[in-house]
Amino acid sequence: MNLRELKLEQALTLLQQGGYPLPQQQDASPAAWLQAVIDGLCDLSLRDALTGLTNRRHFRAVLEREIDRVARTGESALLLILDIDHFKRINDTHGHESGDQVIQAVGRRLSDCVRPMDTVARYGGEEFSIVLPNCQPTFGLAVAERMRVAIESRPVKLRSGHEVHISASVGGAYAPQWVRSSVSLWMERADLQLYCAKTEGRNRVCLEQAAISSVSAEEKGMLFGVSASELQEEPDDE
């Protein structure tokens, strides 16, 4: 294999910028060195550039796998959506670079709160998502509160010398057990709880009271292979 025939300059630049060390070409076989480049690019494609957390695309794939696991095993899984409160005010007051520092700080604090089996993602802008497999409803509120407190407990020190006090609103929902649901439906349920947290005053956690065991029309369609509209049109049994 002649690596000189491959146009890898852009790929190597991306890996260097992303902080991915590669073995020296003279210390590895061509195949091993090229595999390291491919592995680095794959990992880079799954990460958010600003925080290093899982990105939106990869997170949705994680949710798909978790939905399948919950449907097969009936075990609990909690999805949290977290939004930094009044983030636009931070950008307007201190600038977008300072806003990026706040996002990075929140990402680090969330990562410190979770288990190795959990996944934290920057879902977009100032919004983060966390999925916690095997998280029982009795512990969900305590887990989400721990994250909220970790964010609020101390200010973020900016490179400009200023300190910013921040807080976050958190919404959460459990994956329906024994039901093959969808990522969109699960996200909608968690997002509804986030909306409740914000409308109730921000800097708080709102979770579904318990794991949802009922099945929506759309989920019935996924189970039985019929559309939601067909299910809704079915007459009641007499």
Q: pLDDT tens digit string along 92-110?
A: 999 999 999 999 999 999 9
pLDDT for 48 equals 94
C-alpha separations of 135 from 20, 101, 131, 138, 211 in Å: 33, 30, 9, 8, 11
Instruction: Enumerate the β-bridge partners of residue 164.
Output: 156
71 HSE (CA, 13 A, CB side)? 16
Distance CA 119, CA 46 (A): 12
Other CB atoms within 10 Å distance of the CB of residue 226:
13
Contact status, residue 16 vs residue 26, Cβ threshold 8 Å: no
What residues are paired with 170 via a beta bridge? 82, 205
> How far is Cα 209 from Cα 219, in angstroms, rounded to an integer?
20
- Taking CA atoms, 70 is separated from 15, 63, 154, 172, 206, in Å, by 36, 10, 36, 16, 22
pLDDT of residue 40: 79
The pLDDT assigned to 230 comes to 53
Residue 142: what pLDDT?
96
CA pair distance 55, 119, nearest whole angstrom: 10
- Coil, helix or strand for 75? coil
Nearest to 122 by CA among 132, 114, 133, 111: 111
Query: Using CA atoms, how far apart are residues 100 and 91, in angstroms rounded to an integer?
Result: 9
Amino acid at 41: L
Q: What pLDDT does 223 receive?
A: 45
pLDDT < 50: residue spans in the chain: 213, 219, 223-224, 226-228, 231, 234-238
pLDDT of residue 21: 79
